């Protein structure tokens, strides 16, 4: 006498094909990622990055931070432009400004206030334009000793 074979459990029937499908999907995802990295071009960087840190360090070491150089009489005399992180997108640009007598450097974006009524209006490649009660003023980066200041841009 033969015993009847019991019907297979539903979970056991679909477990094998489901595992095979998951493994196939995983390999497909991995292959797509690898092929995409090789075939698709990488986007260009948004900002031109200086690749020679020794040259940049030499330029920073040559700067004279003891005397702020300002091109407008209305610029606050106690502010020194220590550095600029320029960007084509004004939301990403930052100005590094130090007040005389204070060791801290302020990192400011466009629209932020430096002192009562004085705000950063625009951040350029080599200068920062401030807006205050006396109108627009311009802070420029200190020039290394022995170099002539750059000619101002006429917009």
pLDDT tens profile 5-63: 666 677 777 888 899 999 999 998 888 877 776 676 666 655 555 566 677 777 777 77
- DSSP assignment string, 47-95: SPPP--HHHHHHHHHH---SS--BS-TTS-TTEEEEEEE--SSTTT-EE
pLDDT tens profile 92-126: 889 988 888 888 888 999 999 888 888 999 998 88
CB 18 within 8 Å of CB 24: no
Rounded to two decimals, the pTM is: 0.46
């Amino acid at each position: 006498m033969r015993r009847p074979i019991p019907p297979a459990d539903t979970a056991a029937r679909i477990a094998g094909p489901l595992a095979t499908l998951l493994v196939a999907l995983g390999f497909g995802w991995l292959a797509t990622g690898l092929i995409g990295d090789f075939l698709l071009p990488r986007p260009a960087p948004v900002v031109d990055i200086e690749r020679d840190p020794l040259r940049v360090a030499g330029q920073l070491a040559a700067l004279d931070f003891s005397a702020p150089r300002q091109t407008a009489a209305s610029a606050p005399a106690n502010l020194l432009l220590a550095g600029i992180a320029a960007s084509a997108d004004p939301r990403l640009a930052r100005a590094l400004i130090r007040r005389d007598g204070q060791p801290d450097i302020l990192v400011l974006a466009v629209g932020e206030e430096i002192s009562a009524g004085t705000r950063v209006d625009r951040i350029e490649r080599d200068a920062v334009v401030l807006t205050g009660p006396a109108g627009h003023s311009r802070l420029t980066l200190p020039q290394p000793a022995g170099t002539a200041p750059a000619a101002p841009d006429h917009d």
